């Protein structure tokens, strides 16, 4: 179990560091894309271990759908990010 | 016979795949499509790495932020910089080898569409990390990844510029 967590985290950190390096040269909007993609991966990691609640599962699905907007509709992508921020902010306020 | 332009227009970047494995003969056919692509000076300075094992794909995914979804195979194009330089000089090494890969990759994606497969070209990956994971020699430079699988979801076509918009000029000659 411990080894599996370690492996999953290594994959995540590899993804995040490669994303950070890529953002130096990639289009500006790829920065937000990489961040929410990392969020999705983190939620997946929690889900795999039964640690994600319904809210996180819903947000993961929302990210999975919404992230591709970056490739076809900039305005819609930004709106989707705004909604995501509010989802997490409201949840934080409730907690 | 289907119109070639229709096939070209019908190709999509697919990022959502079923679990179905791609048969080996189909992968071979894709690579065959690639070798018929034009090559600057006919130098053909590229090789491919094919990955079908889930563990290997996951590792490459970790170093490739642009590799989204769950492909069942990857074809990784590597430029053989030594061959490109020996046969094509600096132009061959720095430009033609990359152009050759781009053209060959398009052939793969079109053949994939024809075979009912989904594909996506990816350049957002860390070249050093992928080279390290694949244990490639220094002269072999990973340049482009094609993710492949049987499509689960085919997205709507993204907006394209019109033909008119892309033509800077057509046979415009200044009269003296």
Hey, are the CB atoms on B68 and A30 less than 8 Å from each other? no
ipTM of this predicted structure: 0.86
The CA-based dihedral angle spanning residues B80, B83, B85, B87, taken in that order and rounded to the nearest 10 degrees: -140
**Residue B118 backbone class (left: φ over 0; alpha: ψ -120 to 50; beta: rest):** beta
Give A15→chain B minimum CA distance, Å. 4
* Cβ-based neighbours of B91, under 8 Å, separated by 6 or more: B40
Q: How many A-B residue pairs are in contact by the CB < 8 A criterion?
A: 42
Q: For A47-55, what is the mean pLDDT?
A: 95
A-chain CB neighbours of B59 within 8 Å are 11
Whether B132 has its CB under 8 Å from any CB of chain A: the answer is: no
- Give the pTM: 0.91
Per-residue pLDDT of chain B (176 residues; tens, 9 = 90+): 468 999 999 999 999 999 999 999 999 999 999 999 999 999 999 999 999 999 999 999 999 999 999 999 999 999 999 999 999 999 999 999 999 999 999 999 999 999 999 999 999 999 999 999 999 999 999 999 999 999 998 998 988 999 999 999 898 777 65
Q: Tell me the percentage of chain A whose pLDDT exceeds 90.
A: 92
Q: Rounded distance, CA A54 to CA A66, Å?
A: 18
Q: How many residues does chain B have?
A: 176
Whether A5 has its CB under 8 Å from any CB of chain B: the answer is: no
Predicted confidence at residue B175, as pLDDT, reads: 63
Residue of B nearest to A64 (CA): B69
B-chain CB neighbours of A11 within 8 Å are 58-59, 61-62
Which of the four pLDDT bands, split at 50, 70 and 90, describes residue A23?
Answer: very high
* Cβ-based neighbours of A34, under 8 Å, separated by 6 or more: A16, A19, A20, A22, A23, B65
């Amino acid at each position: 179990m411990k080894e599996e967590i370690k492996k999953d985290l290594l994959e995540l950190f590899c993804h995040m560091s490669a994303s950070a390096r890529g953002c130096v040269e990639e289009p500006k909007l790829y920065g937000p894309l990489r961040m929410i993609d990392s969020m999705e991966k983190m939620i997946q990691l929690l889900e795999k271990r039964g640690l994600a609640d319904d809210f996180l599962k819903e947000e993961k699905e929302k990210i999975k759908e919404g992230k591709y907007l970056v490739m076809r509709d900039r305005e819609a992508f930004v709106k989707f990010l705004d909604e995501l921020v509010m989802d997490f902010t409201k949840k934080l306020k409730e907690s | 016979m289907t119109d070639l332009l229709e096939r070209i227009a019908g190709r999509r970047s697919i990022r959502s795949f079923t679990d179905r494995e791609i048969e080996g003969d189909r992968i071979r056919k894709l690579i065959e499509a690639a070798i018929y692509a034009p090559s600057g000076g006919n130098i053909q300075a590229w090789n491919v790495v094919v990955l079908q094992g889930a563990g290997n794909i996951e590792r490459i995914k970790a170093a490739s932020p642009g590799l989204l979804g769950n492909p069942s195979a990857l074809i990784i194009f590597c430029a053989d910089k030594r061959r490109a330089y020996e046969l094509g000089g600096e132009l061959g090494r720095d430009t033609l080898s990359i152009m050759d890969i781009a053209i060959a990759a398009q052939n793969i994606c079109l053949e994939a569409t024809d075979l009912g497969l989904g594909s996506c070209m990816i350049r957002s990956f860390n070249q050093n990390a992928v080279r390290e994971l694949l244990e490639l020699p220094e002269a072999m430079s990973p340049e482009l990844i094609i993710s492949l699988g049987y499509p689960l979801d085919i997205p709507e076509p993204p907006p394209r510029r019109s033909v008119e918009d892309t033509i800077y000029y057509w046979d415009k000659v200044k009269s003296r």
